[in-house]
Structure 1
């Protein structure tokens, strides 16, 4: 549970960071406001047409007597709406990060800058970064959909479906939500999706401590918009601990031979010295 508190601490530190940097808070609100309008319209449509959709999908129950028909379709409608909320929490972040890529990239860089050390840069063009973000978000979405279908099916299990399944759903949402948020900082550090997931699984409890409270907060209307800038800042602070320092300069890798002027590696060359941090300083990023 201590690691859970560590993750929650990063979430709070991120909110405090944007509270102390008001200009960046306002800057980070813009993408969330745009995405909120789109998602509000989608959820309104789901609520409006959910009953008709369930009735269309279950024609075999038309002849059932009351109260079985109403109970059955009412339960399916509730599960459909819960699935919609489950997907919206995850995809809201992905879509907001995609829409606000330049905004959150700048915010994340500013967090790194104020925390000291090197400010990593991917060196990629904006369009290349958008393509990578969209591709990775689609991969995460596929994972989320598989989890959503599994949890939706498990929801029919008596007792378990009403107790353990919602809890697991919040944990799954929190994990993937944290992945989406830390992707902003980790992508700048040259860490791909597969490696990001490995790093996050190694600190699963801390990741849940960051993501699960955020998922619960995102269920409150409009809260997601106001928490997004601080969530990105907090995820950047978490990424600074989880991710190793990026390669900088000539591209040397500690322990490998130093490249020559033409980029080749001299046979038998000694490894470059490792720059250890001064006492009292954190690891170099």
Structure 2
């Protein structure tokens, strides 16, 4: 639970960071807004075309009488739209990160710069970074899809399927969401996907503390767009701890609260020349 709290506090710190740097908050909103417009347009198109698609896919039902044809195709139309909505939810973050790669790279670098120390740079051309990001996103989505199929099957188990399975599903989504967001900073440090997953598995509770509340927040329409800049900032701070570039938040607090801990002395004030 201690590590879970650390992850949640990194999420909060990221939101506070962009709140104090309004220009970077607005800068980080742009990719989410662009992706949102694209997804809304795609879902509207799906809503208009799902009925035609189900009619084309079920020619065997052309001769069915009323009301069975309408009920059957109406059910399939709703299923197609729900599946499209599900895909939109699980891919929104990955697509937003891909669309906003240059934006979020700049935001992440600014967070590193504000925290002090060296600012890592990948040294790769933009097209190469986009290719690596897209490739890793597909690998993560395949893992999420496999977990989704397994959890869907477990959902038919009485009681467990209605209680434990949804909780596990949120944990799985939260873990991989933390991976996708921290990848912005870790990829710039040359950390590959397998190593990133190993890092997060080593601090699984911290990853869940960061990702699960964010996953729950993303269920509210439009919230994902406004939380993305702060989520990238918080994931950058968390990545700094994973790579040993900064101390654990609790370690900092313990040091601040320790007996005998004193605030740093102010810099001496030199008198003006000639006095």
1:103 positional shift: 0.3
- Distance in 1 between residues matched to 2:188 and 2:34, nearest whole Å: 24
* Length, aligned pairs only: 244
The answer to whether residue 232 in structure 2 is matched with residue 204 in structure 1 is no
**1:39, CA displacement in angstroms?**
2.1
Match of 1:6 in 2: 6
Residues 38-96 of structure 1: per-residue CA shift (max 9 Å, x gap)? 22234456667778988968x99xx9xxxxxx8xx97x998877765554333111100
Correspondences of 1:42-57 after superposition (within 5 Å): 42-44=42-44
Query: Following TM superposition, by how much is the alpha carbon of 1:161 offset from its aligned partner in structure 2, in angstroms?
Result: 2.0
Q: Greater CA deviation, 33-42 or 103-112?
A: 33-42
Q: Which has the higher contact order (CA 8 A, sep 6+)?
A: 2
Describe the SS at the equivalent of 1:163: helix
Corresponding residue number in structure 2 for 1:35: 35
Q: Distance in 2 between matches of 1:81 and 1:7?
A: 34
Cα distance in 1 for residues equivalent to 2:48 and 2:153: 23
- DSSP-derived class of the 1:158 partner: coil
| Unpaired stretches in structure 1, ≥5 consecutive residues | 64-69, 246-279
Kept in 2: contact 1:11–1:230 (CA 8 A): yes
Residue 211 of structure 1: CA displacement?
0.5
Q: Deviations over 1:13-55 (max 9, x none)?
A: 0000000000000000000001112222344566677789889
Alignment of 1:33-112 (within 5 A): 33-44=33-44, 87-112=87-112
Distance 1:150 1:43, change over 3 A: farther
**More helix by proportion, 1 or 2?**
2
Q: Residue 130 of structure 1 aligns with which residue?
A: 130
Aligned to 1:215: 215
Show the counterpart of 1:267. none
Offset from partner CA, 1:1-23 (integer Å, 9 cap, x none): 12111101000000000000000
Is 1:25 paired with 2:25? Answer: yes
Q: Structure 2 matches for 1:173-184, cutoff 5 A? A: 173-184=173-184
Partners of 2:234 and 2:184 in 1: how far apart?
A: 11
The question of whether the paired residues in 2 share the 8 Å contact of 1:89 and 1:215 is answered with: no
Structure 2: stretches of 5+ with no match in the other structure: 65-70, 246-262, 265-275
- Counterpart CA distance in 1 for 2:209 and 2:78 is 27
Q: 1:116 to 1:125 in 2, by over 3 A?
A: same
CA-based RMSD of the aligned residues comes to: 3.2
Contact 1:86 1:148 in 2 (8 A): no
Residues 118-144 of structure 1 deviation map (CA, whole Å, 9 limit, x = unaligned)? 100111111111111011111111111
Matched, 1:230 2:227: no
**CA deviation profile, 1:174-220 (whole Å, cap 9, x unmatched):** 01111000000001111000000000001111101100111111111
Q: Distance in 2 between matches of 1:12 and 1:114?
A: 17
Q: Which moved more, 1:148-157 or 1:227-236?
A: 148-157
Aligned partners of 1:10 and 1:210 also within 8 Å:
yes
